[in-house]
Amino acid sequence: MRTTIAIVGAGPAGLLLGQLLQRAGIDNVIVERRSADYVLSRIRAGVLEQGTVDLLDSVGASQRLHAEGIVHHGFELLLDGRREHIDLDAGGVPVTIYGQTEVTRDLMDARAAQGGQTLYEVDDVAIGGVDGDRPWLDFTVDGVVTRLDCDYVVGCDGFHGVSRRTIPEGVLRTYERVYPFGWLGILVDTPPVNDELVYARHARGFALCSMRSASRSRYYVQVPTEERVDDWSDARFWNELRARLSPDLAERLQTGPSLEKSIAPLRSFVVEPMQHGRLFLAGDAAHIVPPTGAKGLNLAMADVGLLASLFDKAYAGGEPQALARYSELALRRVWRAQRFSWWMTSMLHTLPGLDAFTTRVHGAELDTLLASRAGRATIAEAYAGFPGQTLD
Ligand code: RFL
Ligand code: PHB
């Protein structure tokens, strides 16, 4: 088999890249380890920046998003019981609440409608030849060992994928912070407790009230990393969440049986550079942010938006050298998002062992920003998303 761009991973980054390339007339094939149903069963992000919505608009995969997504012009910080509203319009743009699962489904449908090729349930993907000018993918599909020759490989295969590990030792620099806690999340068919998202800082630990629709909510509480989901009955979860909310919100909270319950570890991670020879890394394959800033999915989409425009320059514009700048351009945005995600995480979570003085200083840091119009706008701008990086 032969294609122009071989994409590893059919998560949101791989699928969006496939659609952007189709639109630019650049042939591509996606190989995915899991089944389409499995990919659609993963409950993850819920907040889309305007830049992500614009990219989905550009590939014609946003009809349902505009019909069913909920536009939010702000969010709340709940600081030890005190409610503070952050106005996103102060930072310029709103965000859209629409589940990652739905984004993935819409991109899958758009790809199917265009006849784009995605191979699911592919095993043993191996990447070769990226140091030369004729790279390839080897994999097994339906028991048959197959080679896919291509011009370039893009690794959109997430944090545990094969692409990053293909790059020889010594080429990549890794920057990492692992937090000693995770998020226990549940999905439930009850109306959200509040019209906007609520990020709560509390002595018992962080909590987040989010949503997927007017009748479906997503709630999270901070738990120690070693905690087990089986030890958390629904009743225990609701009690803990209520304890971290203000009395008015706790009273309004509507509980119900969980549809899904899982624990996600929190990590900050970046590799530099995000490319090696003819292999490019995009999305979670290259970087992870803790979810507190709602940036992971948005960064993944911004990476492939940039990469697709560079491929277009290379093929339609006859400037293949433009691709050499991918990593440098992408990393500027990545580090700004890392900073914000780390900051939100540090300010809002209880860090085991953190001294009382630093805990007080964090409270004062939040108060300082919230007392200032410029401070509030800084938070709003970062949450709503940074402008994309372009060559110009
Ligand atoms: P994905 O979604 O992990 O997709 C990678 C795909 O690659 C496949 N794969 C392979 N395929 C072939 N061969 C191999 N060897 C392969 N290895 C892996 C996998 O099966 C998979 O289908 O990465 P991608 O596309 O880069 O997308 C990144 C996002 O999924 C991620 O950043 C977000 O979900 C993070 N995130 C959030 N981001 C936001 O922007 N806003 C949010 O509100 C938000 N909330 C969250 C989140 C992540 C969470 N968890 C569970 C970590 C909330 C949570 C709880
Ligand atoms: C979610 O709805 O899953 C969600 C929302 C905001 C975040 C993280 C996760 O910051």
Quote the CA–CA distance of 179 and 156 in Å, as a whole number.
24
By the 10 Å C-beta count (0-12 exposed, 13-18 middle, 19+ buried), 170 is classed as: exposed
For position 169, what pLDDT does the model report?
Answer: 86
For position 42, what pLDDT does the model report?
Answer: 87
| Ligand 2 neighbour 47 (Cβ under 6 A) | yes
What is the extent of the structural domain holding 338?
A: 5-70+99-175+266-351
**Counting atoms of ligand 1 from 1, which one is nearest the CA of 34?**
20
Q: Residue 90 pLDDT more than 90?
A: no
What does pLDDT average to over the chain? Answer: 96
The answer to whether residue 239 is domain-embedded is no
- Any idea which ligand is nearest the CA of 341? 2
The answer to whether residue 212 is domain-embedded is no
The answer to whether residue 158 is domain-embedded is yes
The answer to whether residue 140 is domain-embedded is yes
| Contact between 379 and 385 (Cβ < 8 Å) | no
For position 33, what pLDDT does the model report?
Answer: 98
> Residue 14: in which H helix or E strand, if any?
helix 12-23
**SS3 for the chain, per residue?**
CECCEEEECCCHHHHHHHHHHHHCCCCEEEECCCCHHHHHHCCCCCEECHHHHHHHHHCCCCHHHHHHCEEECEEEEEECCEEEEEEHHHHCCCEEECCHHHHHHHHHHHHHHHCCEEECCEEEEEEECCCCCCCEEEEEECCEEEEEECCEEEECCCCCCCHHHHCCCCCCEEEEEEEEEEEEEEEECCCCCCCCCEEEECCCCCEEEEEEECCEEEEEEEEECCCCHHHCCHHHHHHHHHHHCCHHHHHHCCCCCEEEEEEEEEEEEEEECCEECCEEECHHHCEECCHHHCCHHHHHHHHHHHHHHHHHHHHCCCCHHHHHHHHHHHHHHHHHHHHHHHHHHHHHCCCCCCCHHHHHHHHHHHHHHHCCHHHHHHHHHHHHCCCCCCCC
pLDDT tens-digit profile of 167-192?
Answer: 998 999 999 999 999 999 999 999 99
Confidence bin at 275 (pLDDT 50/70/90): very high
Best of 39, 100, 119, 140 for a ligand 1 pocket test (most atoms within 8 Å of beta carbon): 100
Q: Residue 391 pLDDT more than 90?
A: no
Confidence bin at 386 (pLDDT 50/70/90): confident
| Contact between 290 and 179 (Cβ < 8 Å) | yes
The answer to whether residue 225 is domain-embedded is no
Q: Residue 197 pLDDT more than 80?
A: yes
The answer to whether residue 273 is domain-embedded is yes
| Ligand 2 neighbour 345 (Cβ under 6 A) | no
Q: Residue 392 pLDDT more than 60?
A: no
For position 390, what pLDDT does the model report?
Answer: 55
Q: Is the dihedral of CA 189, 193, 199, 201 positive or negative?
A: negative
| Cis amide prior to 192 (ω within 30 degrees) | no
Q: Which two tokens stand for residue 189?
A: 């068919």
For position 388, what pLDDT does the model report?
Answer: 62
Residue bearing the bigger pLDDT, 35 or 81: 35
pLDDT tens-digit profile of 94-153?
Answer: 999 999 999 999 999 999 999 999 999 999 999 999 999 999 999 999 999 999 999 999
pLDDT tens-digit profile of 125-136?
Answer: 999 999 999 999
Q: What is the mean pLDDT of residues 220-229?
A: 97
For position 44, what pLDDT does the model report?
Answer: 86
Q: Which residues line ligand 1 (CB under 6 A)?
A: 8-14, 31-34, 39, 44-47, 100, 122, 125, 156-158, 161-162, 183, 185, 264, 283-284, 291, 294-298, 300
**Counting atoms of ligand 2 from 1, which one is nearest the CA of 211?**
2
Q: Residue 163 pLDDT more than 60?
A: yes
The total of structural domains in the chain comes to 1
The answer to whether residue 77 is domain-embedded is no
Measured by CA distance, the residue closest to atom 37 of ligand 1 is: 45
Confidence bin at 389 (pLDDT 50/70/90): low
CATH code of 107's domain: 3.50.50.60
pLDDT tens-digit profile of 340-353?
Answer: 999 999 999 999 89
